[in-house]
Structure 1
Amino acid sequence: MDPIAPRTKCVLLIMALVVFCLFGTKANAQEGSVIYTGKIVDRDSGQPVAYATVMIGDLSTQQAITGVTTLEDGTFSLETNAGDHYIEISFIGFEKVVLQPPAPQNGIVDLGTVEMSEDAQQLEEVVVEGEVSQTVFKLDKRVFNVGKDLSSTGASALEVLNNVPSVNVSIEGQISLRGSQGVQVLINGKPSILTSDENNALGTITANMIDRVEVITNPSAKYDAEGTSGIINIVIKKEEKRGFNGSVSVNTGVPDNHSVGISLNRRTEKFNLFSQLGTGYRELPNEITIRNTDLTTGTTILSTGEEFRNETFYNFILGTDYYFSPSSVLTLSGNFALEIEDQPSATNFAALDNFGNFTSEWERTEVTDARNPKFQYELQYKKDFEDHEDHDVLFSALGNFFGKDQSSEFEDVTLAGESRDADQNTRTNFQESVFTFKLDYTKPFSDTFSIETGAQYILNDVSNDFEVQNLENGAFVTDTGLTNIFEFGQNVLGVYGTTAYEGKKWGIKAGMRLENTDVGTFLVNTGETNDQNYTNLFPSMHTSYKFSEKVSLQAGYSKRIYRPRLWDLNPFFNIRNNFNIRQGNPNLLPEFTDSYEVTGIFLIGKTSLNLGVYHRYTTDIIERISIFENNVNVTRPENIGTNNAWGVELNTKYSPVNWLTLNVDVNYNTFARSGSLEDTLFDFSAEQWSSKLLAKVKLPLGIDVEATGNYRSAYQTVQGEINAIAFLDFGIRKKMMKGKGVLNLSVRDAFASRIRENQISQDSFELFNRSFRARFVAFGFSYGFGKGGTMQYSGAKRM
């Protein structure tokens, strides 16, 4: 028996009674009623104002009696039988119009064309309100409303994340949360090709596209268990204001970083059609210095140079929402993007003997061309039930495809000493598809008690065909030791249930998630396979207590997993620098982490302060280990023992005056490593800390200035040490044209101090690696038309 059927019959019966009453009331009220008609237009442009509110109000109580919204052409028709009343017309961004009703003729009053003037002050307030970034603490996550942070203007999602408390992003784009890189990054709550390790797609999401960032250090069982240090969920904006809205933006920068973007949206009562188009070109230079020293022979290989990744990109997004009713919506969207890569690079190599004398010098040049098509499509249905605002069901089906067709030519030319002449070609044909099916159901039984349940199925299929050819006797010959087809498949099925109680002072949320993982790798040329299938339970528990309006306490626990990803497993990689090779390990096992935390939230005058302590215990932790032979460094991930980490975190926001806001984020943790690989022990204890200071200043004439300072301490790794880094990002913005236009200037790494150095010192070898990306300066202008807000399309690609 269908459990919904009785409720449906009841609802239909109630609706029939309501309709009968309405028609009956209308029939009895025809006598003495008045019909008002008219058309609402914009005084400046003469264009009709769609979806403006026309209200009939009672003169004595000033309360609304009835009302309608204008149609697409600005017209309306409204009937009332009220006595003393007035007419009020309103729409966001316009001054209200109040009319006294003229005498009707035959029960009809034609108000004609009513003009509305834009309210400059209200428009400005709307813009400013959208700029305020604030932290919202929920039972199991922190929500950071990105707004229009200046240091994020003209930047990518990676720069936005770098400004979020608890989060750090390295020069190479590696994301860490509270000092740990075991992070699961989601887009709109779902896994995405954009967040995978093997491409730079996350850097193609522009700051203006992001509505908010959710940091979930101890996710509840509702979320995918992936990510030992937690989850970062990037929520993308979607314009839904009624009528026709859009924006155009033009950006330029140094190094070359140029783009043009258009965003369009049209919303009616039933449909919301949205689209984005963008094209541009950008360069990503990277200066490198690498030194490999064999302590047994005393010989050294030194390589210096500048690597480039130049990209021309095109992007098109089209989607629509269909509203079956105000509480039921179906969304269908698609995205196509194409990147055309060019990687011209030149690296100078030098070989030194044990006395420091040069025995050979040569130059290695690279010519790489690649085409990277990306597709993404999603079907989503959401139903909100009428009995409670949080009672809903959500189903989504998401498909992602990423491809890379790349060819590279390497030429080694001897400059002095021993001959190093050589030619190599590489070919890569990479294809990845990810399908995610998700169903979530939330049912509140009261204002304090609710349950959640659902399921998720993720299918990931990858093929990487990689070939290396060496020039031998005038012909290119395949290097069988470096050539293979690597196939990777991983399917994860998860089901969960949670229950929560949230009272005025105390709340608790507990849940359990069951996940089955089926993963397999296959090296086609050699026939090597590694198949694993495992099932795990992932409990979670969160609680909070509100001592007063100014003091609250939260605590949480969750069990997490980090599954080895494609580039952890794939043993074949690019040989750009053939003395420093990065490989994968098909035999890796997953990491498991138990995570605990307690956080106090304090409101002290104009200051909000959040102080937390946390503990993470991880088994089978994955570390990249350097294997050194003949001055060639090969890094390979291995499962090495356990990691026991304790940490303290402090976030605070202070506004001493209206025009100045300061945000401070400090994170300190200490950890103890224990493990071994073959005959080598990796037992040690170390510490690391990071801090950020963001200052935002509001100046007259609509000018805002913001600066973000970052410091990350040096810290010990299993074989060496990563250096300390301090750098500053700076931005300035000028609003104009009643807030619809924005000029912005942003500078990344203002003092060119964001330099990463990695030093490894072992008994038989030493390694030094220095990486520096140039200072980035970007300038842009954007203009929003219609009644939507301004959007900036930065010098990067949209995905």
Structure 2
Amino acid sequence: MHSNSTKNFLLLLLIFGFTVAKAQTETVQIIGKVVDSNGLPIEFATVLIGDSETKKALEGTTTIEDGSFSMEIDASNFYIEISFIGFEKKTFGSPVTKGGQIDLGTVTLSEDTEQLEEVIVQGEISRTEFKLDKRVFNVGKDLSTTGASALDVLNNVPSVNVNIEGQISLRGSQGVQILINGKPSVIASEEGNTLGTITADMIDRVEVITNPSAKYDAEGTSGIINIVIKKEQRKGLNGSVSVNTGAPDAHSLGVSLNRRGEKFNLFSQLGFGIRELPNDLVNRNVDLVNNTTILSRGTEYRNETYYNVVLGTDYYLNDSNVITLSGNFAMEIEDQPSQTAFTALDASGISTSEWERTEVTEATNPKLQFELQYKKDFDENDEHTLIFSSLGSFFGKDQSSDFNNTTISGDNNDAQQKTRTDFKEGIFTFKLDYTRPFSEKWKLESGAQFVLNDVANDYEVSNLQNGDFIIDNGLTNVFEFNQNVLGLYGTGSYEGTKWGVKAGLRVEQTNQDTFLATTNETNGQDYANLFPSIHSSYKFSDKISLQAGYSKRIYRPRMWDLNPFFNIRNNFSIRQGNPDLQPEFTDSYEVTSIYILGRASLNFGVYHRYTTEVIERVSVFENNVNTVRPENIGENNTTGIEFNAKYSPAKWLTLNGDFNYSQFNRDGTFENTVFDFNGNQWSSKLMAKLKLPADFEMETTGNYQSGFKTVQGTMSDQLFMDLGVRKNILKGKAVLNLSVRDLFASRVNENQIAQANFEVYNRRQRGTFVAFGFSYGFGKGEAMQYSGQRRRF
């Protein structure tokens, strides 16, 4: 049996890895259908055509969803073998040809339990190896033969977690950047959950990068996860259909499809949904000079109806050249019915007036994203590649708001205001990457990137005066923002059996211009920066490794940091941008040790970050109005430790824990005010995943974030829990899903500012969200929840 299993495995490799020259004879079509002993179709069964004399594979294919297959052969002396893992194979020798066609009819395969057990035991197991600046998780047959999705693969990667709703985190932090074959992709975009159309058998490896080298953007992220797709993908159709509902209102319908063939890989997603996003707010502004207070309490809503379409294709020119073209279009229609109650108090705490502010806001937000990528593989080495990619995105907002103040008691605060927003943003990224290995140990990487960002925001405020709405010139402006970043990089690396080093340098030239049309104010910044990086690793054994790295990072102010528009949703709590804002620069040092101990993977790291031109939100207080504006305030030194562990003590239980502690030292001055102080903060997360009887799965996640000091006050701590339950039905092709976010409604954001002349208290809470969904996966698609994510400012 061992011999048969090995022979079957070698035959499968021959199907996908070799093309055998065919004899010049008449073409014959071979058709049939493969089913199991219950009469159910078997998808992805292997149909092999072999030469009767040499026993070499001549042609091969796999069955589609209904178990059928069709192929052509121009040989004359051949046999047909049909097999599938876990089933006894069947062989047909010298079939009779009728009219140029061989119809095998319905072929029934019987289960072979002994063979299945041997394949599982001897099959390649997924494992992690350590490469200089990254950790590489190679996908083995224990995952690739199960029909799992990319999200399931990620959940098996040490220090990576995917919760029951499909949200990805790295070492406990969200905001991780997902790349496909080293590049941003519509598939990995947050606009749609299309990662579920990538199945485990398509994935060669997953690369985890926590301290990116000079090859990647100098803009900082919490880390990078790169999913590398195999050059040879199994053909077939996969996808899923998902229906979801929840409270507060959250209802959606999504369909994902992926069709893979010899030349084309087609993928798509259609989605529609509505949702309600309430936000309970409490604000207290205290003027310590005049001893007056303004209290406000209310609920802000962002209700949305959204549509999402993703469509793309990979076209294989040949084995070495592939072109990818894809696009994503989404439309959001917003409605924001909000209501806030205000109370003015005197020095004795007695109410002097009360009024109510209501808001009616409507907006349409079109979003468009496209990707064009060309990749060339050179035959002599799999890592010798040339990739050109172009990624473009557009976001627009056409919004109008009506605000109405109604006096309840005391002083007259009746007022009406209107605002209008016309916002447009376009971002275009062009990138060229070349990788050249000179030997098994030495490798050179080089490339260039050009990013264009073009933004315009037309914002207008009007006040009702004597029956007419008059434009408020002090709050109205047209703001334009243009930023171009040209980057060039080069890295060289040496990697031996135990030790390796990688060094690189990135040069970025930034041209940034802002224009405030209302006042004819311009502000331009041109600067060039060097971003060096160096990484090293030492491999003590297959289970223990040490990595160290340094990189320089940058945070460039975004449009919303720079635009001096006023947000008057609450006209006693105003957000404002700063066109004079400078970029932040960070030197990041990190040493990490990784241990693979049986069923446990442990990561322990020490890090230090030195940041200059730190951007902080600073409050300016006048007439009980708190205006928050970003400013560059001094330097920050942060030193911390980080611990992550994933442990599976039993097949039915997986534990994942994260702990991060840091101590920081702030040094800065703003407008003759010194902001020097020390502080610390820590966070922890513990997740437990349980596989229960009757195909139930449960997941609980506890989170704690400590309070910490800010430049003007303090942030309070948070303790909250999320819960999820899944039930697999229809032999695992369908899933019932229940998720509860913030189970005990304990996730509250509180910010306290205490200064000599004023105090400000803000409290914000979204509350508990409950969602229930049904998903059905067909082909090899993963039954998964669809969630059309919106852009968040």
Give yes or no for contact 1:672–1:684 (8 Å, CA) kept in 2.
yes
What one-letter code is carried by the residue in structure 2 that aligns with 1:90? S
Q: Which sits farther off after the overlay, 559-568 or 598-607?
A: 598-607
User: Residues 103 and 615 (structure 1 numbering): CA distance in 2 closer, same or farther, change over 3 Å?
Assistant: closer
CA distance in 2, matches of 1:572, 1:615: 36
1:702 Cα offset (Å): 1.5
CA distance in 1, matches of 2:744, 2:226: 29
User: Residues 410 and 449 (structure 1 numbering): CA distance in 2 closer, same or farther, change over 3 Å?
Assistant: same
Give yes or no for contact 1:38–1:114 (8 Å, CA) kept in 2.
no
What one-letter code is carried by the residue in structure 1 that aligns with 2:366? P
Aligned equivalent of 1:368: 361
User: Residues 233 and 586 (structure 1 numbering): CA distance in 2 closer, same or farther, change over 3 Å?
Assistant: farther
Give yes or no for contact 2:88–2:112 (8 Å, CA) kept in 1.
no
Equivalent residue in structure 1 for 2:590, among 589, 597, 619:
597
1:792 Cα offset (Å): 2.8
Deviations 1:598-643 (A, max 9, x none): 1111223432211110011111111110000111000111111100
Matches of residues 348-747 of structure 1 in structure 2 within 5 Å? 348-747=341-740
Q: Which sits farther off after the overlay, 320-329 or 557-566?
A: 320-329
What one-letter code is carried by the residue in structure 2 that aligns with 1:115? V
User: Residues 695 and 126 (structure 1 numbering): CA distance in 2 closer, same or farther, change over 3 Å?
Assistant: farther
CA-based RMSD of the aligned residues comes to: 3.8
Give yes or no for contact 1:246–1:788 (8 Å, CA) kept in 2.
yes
User: Residues 545 and 222 (structure 1 numbering): CA distance in 2 closer, same or farther, change over 3 Å?
Assistant: same
1:700 Cα offset (Å): 2.0
Deviations 1:296-334 (A, max 9, x none): 111111000111000001111111111111331111112
Aligned equivalent of 1:99: 91
1:147 partnered with 2:152: yes
User: Residues 797 and 428 (structure 1 numbering): CA distance in 2 closer, same or farther, change over 3 Å?
Assistant: closer
1:88 Cα offset (Å): 2.9
1:75 partnered with 2:56: no
Aligned equivalent of 1:275: 268
Find the residue that maps to 1:284 and give its secondary structure: strand
Find the residue that maps to 2:697 and give its secondary structure: strand
Give yes or no for contact 2:197–2:238 (8 Å, CA) kept in 1.
no
Which has the higher relative contact order, 1 or 2, with Cα contacts under 8 A spaced 6 or more apart?
1
Equivalent residue in structure 2 for 1:54, among 35, 44, 48:
48
Give yes or no for contact 1:735–1:743 (8 Å, CA) kept in 2.
yes
CA distance in 2, matches of 1:70, 1:194: 25
Aligned equivalent of 1:164: 170
Structure 1: unaligned runs, 5 residues or longer: 1-17, 169-174, 176-182, 196-200
Aligned equivalent of 2:105: 113
Give yes or no for contact 2:130–2:539 (8 Å, CA) kept in 1.
no
CA distance in 1, matches of 2:517, 2:186: 24
Aligned equivalent of 2:326: 333
Equivalent residue in structure 1 for 2:238, among 224, 245, 253:
245
Deviations 1:566-595 (A, max 9, x none): 111011042100000011100011111111
Structure 2: unaligned runs, 5 residues or longer: 1-17, 138-149, 200-204
Structure-2-length-normalised TM-score: 0.86
Find the residue that maps to 2:152 and give its secondary structure: coil
What one-letter code is carried by the residue in structure 1 that aligns with 2:104? G
1:190 Cα offset (Å): 5.7
Aligned equivalent of 1:172: none
What one-letter code is carried by the residue in structure 1 that aligns with 2:609? R
1:80 Cα offset (Å): 7.0
What one-letter code is carried by the residue in structure 1 that aligns with 2:93? P
User: Residues 580 and 646 (structure 1 numbering): CA distance in 2 closer, same or farther, change over 3 Å?
Assistant: same
1:125 Cα offset (Å): 14
Give yes or no for contact 2:427–2:452 (8 Å, CA) kept in 1.
yes
Aligned equivalent of 1:180: none
Aligned length: 743
User: Residues 135 and 479 (structure 1 numbering): CA distance in 2 closer, same or farther, change over 3 Å?
Assistant: farther
Give yes or no for contact 1:304–1:347 (8 Å, CA) kept in 2.
yes
CA distance in 2, matches of 1:316, 1:374: 10
CA distance in 1, matches of 2:422, 2:97: 77
What one-letter code is carried by the residue in structure 1 that aligns with 2:152? G
Deviations 1:440-477 (A, max 9, x none): 11111222211111100000000000001111111111
Aligned equivalent of 2:309: 316
User: Residues 772 and 207 (structure 1 numbering): CA distance in 2 closer, same or farther, change over 3 Å?
Assistant: farther
Deviations 1:689-708 (A, max 9, x none): 10111111111221111111
Find the residue that maps to 1:549 and give its secondary structure: coil
Equivalent residue in structure 1 for 2:762, among 769, 791, 798:
769
Find the residue that maps to 1:219 and give its secondary structure: coil
CA distance in 2, matches of 1:292, 1:545: 55
Aligned equivalent of 2:11: none
Q: Which sits farther off after the overlay, 206-215 or 398-407?
A: 206-215
Aligned equivalent of 2:143: none
Give yes or no for contact 2:34–2:45 (8 Å, CA) kept in 1.
no
Find the residue that maps to 2:561 and give its secondary structure: helix
CA distance in 2, matches of 1:654, 1:555: 24
Find the residue that maps to 2:756 and give its secondary structure: coil
User: Residues 415 and 626 (structure 1 numbering): CA distance in 2 closer, same or farther, change over 3 Å?
Assistant: same
Find the residue that maps to 2:646 and give its secondary structure: strand
Q: Which sits farther off after the overlay, 215-224 or 235-244?
A: 235-244
User: Residues 440 and 105 (structure 1 numbering): CA distance in 2 closer, same or farther, change over 3 Å?
Assistant: closer
User: Residues 378 and 193 (structure 1 numbering): CA distance in 2 closer, same or farther, change over 3 Å?
Assistant: closer
CA distance in 2, matches of 1:420, 1:296: 23
CA distance in 2, matches of 1:681, 1:584: 22
CA distance in 1, matches of 2:112, 2:214: 47
Give yes or no for contact 1:436–1:457 (8 Å, CA) kept in 2.
yes
1:285 partnered with 2:291: no
Structure-1-length-normalised TM-score: 0.85
CA distance in 1, matches of 2:415, 2:206: 48
CA distance in 2, matches of 1:752, 1:742: 27
Find the residue that maps to 1:167 and give its secondary structure: coil
User: Residues 263 and 203 (structure 1 numbering): CA distance in 2 closer, same or farther, change over 3 Å?
Assistant: closer
Give yes or no for contact 2:361–2:399 (8 Å, CA) kept in 1.
yes
Aligned equivalent of 2:7: none
1:751 partnered with 2:775: no
CA distance in 1, matches of 2:318, 2:364: 43
Give yes or no for contact 1:70–1:76 (8 Å, CA) kept in 2.
no
Aligned equivalent of 1:15: none
Give yes or no for contact 2:447–2:488 (8 Å, CA) kept in 1.
yes
CA distance in 1, matches of 2:42, 2:544: 50
CA distance in 1, matches of 2:607, 2:516: 41
CA distance in 1, matches of 2:454, 2:91: 64
What one-letter code is carried by the residue in structure 1 that aligns with 2:558? R
1:270 Cα offset (Å): 1.0
User: Residues 376 and 648 (structure 1 numbering): CA distance in 2 closer, same or farther, change over 3 Å?
Assistant: same
